[in-house]
Amino acid sequence: MEDENIALNSVLGLELNRVFFAVRETANKQKIIEFARDVLETERADLRNSATPEGPAG
């Protein structure tokens, strides 16, 4: 399952990169950056909340 998550994150990262460079307006690029940061922060918070004192569940 972890390998699938890594592969999915790689694909999503590449797609985000493609979209970022396809967008010409700086304001829209800033929106993409803010969205990506929000998603990353949410994912990190979810990982922290799902971790047990002994370590991550899995």
pLDDT tens-digit profile of 32-49? 889 889 988 998 888 888
pTM over 0.75: no
**55 pLDDT exceeds 60?**
no
User: CA 49 to CA 58: how far, in whole Å?
Assistant: 14
pLDDT of residue 25: 93
pLDDT tens-digit profile of 22-32? 998 999 999 98
- The 10 Å Cβ neighbour count of residue 38 is 10
pLDDT of residue 48: 87
Quick one: what percent of the chain has pLDDT higher than 90? 16
